[in-house]
Chains A and B, each alone.
Chain A
Amino acid sequence: MDPNILVLLALVTSIASIVVALLVVSVRDLVYASSLLAVLGGLTAALTAIIGYYLVAAFIIIVYVGAAVMFIIISISMLGGGGLETWNRGRGIIAALISLIILALAFSRINITQYAFPVSVDSSIVANSLLTHYAPLLAVLLVALAVTVLEALAVARRG
């Protein structure tokens, strides 16, 4: 793809991501807020695909948006609003500004000019590494996820 179009696409997606993130934390209805989180996940996947990580983008859409965020949306729809929400916007703005300054200062120190984007990822190398070199890690992850789901079911049923 033409590099200028790629940059323009990244710019539009970035602006949309910031607007949607603002809506997630400020919309009063929690069902709408969680639905907007799914949109934010989609936009993150789009940004990920723009920099060349197509496999990660697919994984974000399938596992994160398709399973985790859908679980949040369904749970909130079942719970309802949960009563009146209290806000302390002044404290939030101060914390956001402090974190913005700290993150900007921290990441301005790191040199990112050495990497060329979009990257080229060979999915067969990733799959081979995961199933051979990182196989114990994958096994631990699968067991941890299975235990997590069982634990969640136990906590939810106990009440």
Chain B
Amino acid sequence: MLLLSYIIVTTAIVIASIGVYGLVSSRNLIRQLLSIEVIFNSVILLMLIFIGGNPHLATMIAIILVSVVAGEVVIVMALILSMYRSVKTLLSDPLEEPGV
């Protein structure tokens, strides 16, 4: 089913570009985290398509990938929460100033 692969690869590429748009255009840290998660969704689809020759290996990598991303989300949200307490904003602009 070649058409199925092409549909999913095209979708994943478009979703990754949408994620890049959100990541670059917004200065809000939570919006940037959400955009990275959008890119992650496309990465998992592309990975499963391109390791299609060995579906068991692809399944194992996907399980490990999802677990690592779950941990990453927890750490990034904790850092955002910590930053919000100290600078009272979720915008990334104050992070560019020295001493923050």
Contact = CB atoms under 8 A, between A and B. Distances in A.
Contacts of B79: 155
Contacts of A26: 22
Contact of B64 (A137, A149, A153): A137
A91 B20 CA distance: 10
Given A25-B18, A86-B27, A95-B20, A7 B1 contact: yes
B37 A69 contact: yes
Interface of A: 3, 6-7, 10-11, 14, 17-18, 21-22, 24-26, 30, 33-34, 37, 40-41, 44, 47-48, 50-53, 55-56, 59-60, 63-64, 67-69, 71-72, 75-76, 79, 81-83, 85-89, 91-93, 95-97, 99-100, 103-104, 107, 110, 112-122, 125-126, 129-130, 134, 137, 141, 144-145, 148-149, 151-153, 155-156, 158-159
30 contacts: A10-B8, A22-B18, A24-B35, A25-B18, A33-B31, A34-B34, A47-B11, A48-B45, A48-B48, A51-B8, A53-B62, A55-B63, A56-B58, A56-B59, A79-B81, A85-B26, A89-B25, A91-B24, A92-B24, A93-B21, A97-B17, A99-B20, A103-B17, A112-B6, A112-B50, A115-B53, A119-B58, A126-B63, A141-B68, A149-B71
